Structure formats: structure tokens, C-alpha cells
Amino acid sequence: MLHEGGAMTIVKRGGHRPSEDFSKQKLHDSIVAACLSAGTPTGLAEQIGRTVTDAVISWLHTRPEVTSHDLRLTATKHLRTHHPDAAYLYEHHRKIL
């Protein structure tokens, strides 16, 4: 469980895959990966990853269930304030191919 009253369940994109529990580590790693791909040094990427993950967790407090798409949009919004290039990659990685 994430926290008291917070969202636990992430409904996956398209509904083809089963819902899954929210994973803080998974969100953090994906944000760090986007930052590294955008050329950010590892230390700064980790710091941005922690900041954005904390912001997303605060947002999750008010919602019992969210879709993976909403989660991505919210993470992108927070990431954009720290690193616009990484946010661009994070938002568009499914639209490259």
C-alpha cells in the first residue's frame, strides 16, 4: 500500500493489461531514465527523480485509483518545471516509432 488514503491501483493504458499496484521505484527509475537520455548528469537526474516522484505521490494522496496515462501526464507536468527536454522524452517516448 502506498499510504493512508492514497491511490494504490494503476489502471494500465488501453485496458489490455491488468491493473497494478503503484510502484514508487518504478516511477523514480522512469524519470531518471528520461533525464539521463536527455543528457543530464546522474546525480542531478537522481535528484530530479526524487523531487518529481514526491510531487506525484502528493497528487496521488487525493485519488483512490488513477490511470497510467494520468500518472504519466502528472509526472510530465512536474518534470517539465525541472527539465523540459527530459519531460519531452518522458511524454513522447511511445510516439517515436
Partner 1 sequence: MDIITSLAIVTLAALVHASFQLSVSVLTLLSGHAIGSKKSHRRTVALTGSFVFGAGVMTLLLLSFFALMFSHVFGNNVTSLIWAICCGVLIGVGLAVWVFYYRRERGTTIWIPRSFARHLSNRSKATKDPAEAFSLGLTSVISELLFIIAPLAVSALVIVQLPTEWQLVGIAIYSVISLLALLIVWVAVGSGHSISRIQKWRETNKHFLQFAAGSALVILGAFVYVNQITLALEGIV
The least CB distance from residue 26 to partner 1, in Å, is: 13
Check if the beta carbon of residue 68 is closer than 8 Å to that of residue 94. no
Q: What share of the chain is helix, strand, coil (3-state, %, to 5)?
A: 65, 10, 25
Residue 16 has, within 13 A of its CA and on its CB side, a CA count of: 2
Counting contacts by CB under 8 A, is residue 44 touching partner 1?
no
Counting contacts by CB under 8 A, is residue 52 touching partner 1?
no
Nearer Cβ to partner 1 (29/65): 29
Residues making contact with partner 1 (CB under 8 A):
32-34, 36-39, 42, 85-86, 88-89, 92-97
